[in-house]
Structure 1
């Protein structure tokens, strides 16, 4: 969740948010966010809260790695993104009666379909779903990170970010914004706000104001509908 939400929740309830990560195939735990003594001694204030936003450290007996599109390992530098792969005693190794699921595994590792980073301290951060990450000019842009930062702007009530086809860059970020009551939103405002965490080439060229974000029946942002509705926005070929 955004840092502003974590702070607000703590102030409102006095409760602490503890991040964890897992899936049905991992039954269910992969990581839990807990502070290493060395990290707690080194960080304080918002830096500790920022670390708490990550999904955390691998559980005992669980191994986590990141791989690129060629299946090669990605460095644990907290910046380089790759698909999260997991193995361990209770991690799924095959799917029952599914002969077409071989691409979900890599040399004994279960491929999660999630994209993330791992920092030098070993903390995993989930940055996107592989199907939702924005691939622009050979680089990856996290739609989740951009959404979280956008929703921390006081003029933005909700935001959704998808990658739309672009004739030159393969994909470019496209933003839907629900303004906060009584607020107006400009592209310049969004750029200024996003520039604290995103390079200039990662910033969206445009955005659209809407009254509500398309959602699925379970309340998740329906990025498939967004991509379909605004498919030709940048003049790229539809998938």
Structure 2
């Protein structure tokens, strides 16, 4: 056989150009892991085989409703088996899954449904009262499908409304291969749509592709990081409307892990009983949820747990160490955002830290961590845009690039959010050390400038949170005629605590510079939260402004 000489021209490989699609996740689970269980709290057990069967019926049900390829299909629902079927069936049939934050104010809810031009909305029965009052201001929606959730909330008499189970049972199952329908399709077809929280303007849509979702999914399977595997039992406490539950449902199905879905309740006892009864090995939640569970940890058998993921905001080191002491597993930091699908960085110690002192290991666990494979991060000077050194000292704006990082926003001008060479500007200030460990300093808008010097609200919050009586803390800036801004700490204490502002000030004095000490401690029963469970500094600033 005669071989062509290589003349220096680029050469294509000879591998099959099969697209990376969510259809593969569905059919892989159906073929290999049909027996594996999915538990929905309060709604019993099912298997991947049953989920796949319902998903096949969902495919033809969407056809019967006239939902075209590329149409946006919205979900307004909690974490449940039926929501999982939508996670699979909508993108596997070339429609676009739009998961909506169920805690949005009506103004934002109406904006994003109309902006996305959602064709159909699937809504939990118990959540109907939150969205139905807006129906006359949502003219784009043709169909409403009610998901049973164990409640008996009245359903309005309206011809646009149908029941999910009735719709599914009346549909013939799709009998072919979802993967084969994608065989000649573009893997860059849109698969999912999530909107940002809209804290600095209208919410912005992030439009995920099949390719980006599959690659992010594989990132969650990477050994030594989250490392989802077939023997895991995965509990996404993080809502399925919050950036696709951080990819945990897709990752669990790809790996063949069992899934536990908590339903609508985030009550600490409910979640801990679920973790113990189902022998959960991996769970993910925002720090406020982990904080709420901490007092009852030792009352439950969590010995099966191997990995706890924290994200959405910085995990206070004291909180992570509380879990390590109680159950032998720390909360592992992650960093990401809706625009990053959302996981870009995972924390934790590595082999080089095995001989480090206990204090040094705590410091490593307090960092956000190293980027996942295929994700690149850098920091840049806020004024010049020049890349800064990875020395652990230089502070700059965090920028990120990778195959599951957004390159633009949906239907809005995106130029200011991206650099000329295409990197996403995150708005976070950070350092990166020589080993690639990312440490967040603050959000650019949350830094406090006092007397010409910067104060990191993140570091100050971590110091205050290390006091054993502190449950929640948020540090905000208050205008000051002399210093321009001064820090104010808003604190929620454990029930029955008599801790005073002076005690907290004495506690943190050895940890921070003297001029970082808050001018005031404001004690609150609980701190306001955003729709995704993060502490809302916007609400706190507004309260301080009007006080």
TM-score normalised per structure 2: 0.39
Question: Which residue of 2 is the match for residue 29 of structure 1?
Answer: 343
CA pair 110-132 structure 1, distance change in 2 beyond 3 A: same
Given that 2:460 and 2:516 are in contact with CA atoms closer than 8 Å, whether structure 1 keeps it comes out as: no
1:105 and 2:418 aligned: yes
CA pair 150-15 structure 1, distance change in 2 beyond 3 A: same
Question: Which residue of 2 is the match for residue 236 of structure 1?
Answer: none
**Residues of 1 paired with 2:323 and 2:395: CA distance?**
29
**Residues of 1 paired with 2:501 and 2:452: CA distance?**
25
Q: Choose from 88, 111, 125 the match for 2:439.
A: 125
SS of equivalent residue, structure 2 residue 377 = strand
Q: Max radius of gyration: which structure? A: 2
**Residues of 2 paired with 1:215 and 1:61: CA distance?**
33
SS of equivalent residue, structure 1 residue 85 = strand
1:26-58 CA deviation, whole Å, 9 max, x = no partner? 2333222253433434x1323212211211112
Q: Choose from 44, 48, 51 the match for 2:361.
A: 48
Given that 2:339 and 2:405 are in contact with CA atoms closer than 8 Å, whether structure 1 keeps it comes out as: yes
**Residues of 2 paired with 1:16 and 1:212: CA distance?**
24
SS of equivalent residue, structure 1 residue 8 = helix
SS of equivalent residue, structure 2 residue 331 = coil
Given that 2:320 and 2:332 are in contact with CA atoms closer than 8 Å, whether structure 1 keeps it comes out as: no
**Residues of 2 paired with 1:77 and 1:203: CA distance?**
27
Give the drift of 1:137: 3.3
Q: Choose from 441, 464, 479 the match for 1:165.
A: 479
Give the drift of 1:217: 4.4
1:93 and 2:407 aligned: yes
CA pair 190-77 structure 1, distance change in 2 beyond 3 A: farther
CA pair 125-72 structure 1, distance change in 2 beyond 3 A: same
Higher normalized helix content (fraction of residues)? 2
SS of equivalent residue, structure 2 residue 321 = helix
Q: Choose from 495, 512, 529 the match for 1:198.
A: 512
Give the drift of 1:66: 1.5
Structure 2 portions without partners, runs of 5+: 1-314
Higher normalized strand content (fraction of residues)? 1
SS of equivalent residue, structure 2 residue 439 = strand
Given that 1:165 and 1:231 are in contact with CA atoms closer than 8 Å, whether structure 2 keeps it comes out as: no
TM-score normalised per structure 1: 0.82
CA pair 27-15 structure 1, distance change in 2 beyond 3 A: same
**Residues of 1 paired with 2:389 and 2:513: CA distance?**
20
**Residues of 2 paired with 1:180 and 1:121: CA distance?**
38
CA pair 131-120 structure 1, distance change in 2 beyond 3 A: same
Question: Which residue of 2 is the match for residue 177 of structure 1?
Answer: 491
Given that 2:399 and 2:426 are in contact with CA atoms closer than 8 Å, whether structure 1 keeps it comes out as: yes
SS of equivalent residue, structure 2 residue 502 = helix
Greater length-normalized contact order (CA 8 Å, ≥ 6 residues apart): 1
Structure 1 portions without partners, runs of 5+: 234-239
Question: Which residue of 2 is the match for residue 237 of structure 1?
Answer: none
1:228 and 2:539 aligned: no
Question: Which residue of 1 is the match for residue 523 of structure 2?
Answer: 209
Q: Choose from 502, 519, 532 the match for 1:188.
A: 502
SS of equivalent residue, structure 1 residue 90 = coil
**Residues of 1 paired with 2:342 and 2:492: CA distance?**
34
Question: Which residue of 1 is the match for residue 151 of structure 2?
Answer: none
Given that 1:81 and 1:140 are in contact with CA atoms closer than 8 Å, whether structure 2 keeps it comes out as: no
CA pair 209-32 structure 1, distance change in 2 beyond 3 A: closer
* Cα-Cα RMSD: 2.5
1:3 and 2:317 aligned: yes
Q: Choose from 59, 65, 69 the match for 2:382.
A: 69
Question: Could you tell which deviates more after superposition, 101-110 or 122-131?
Answer: 122-131
Moved over 4 A (4+): none
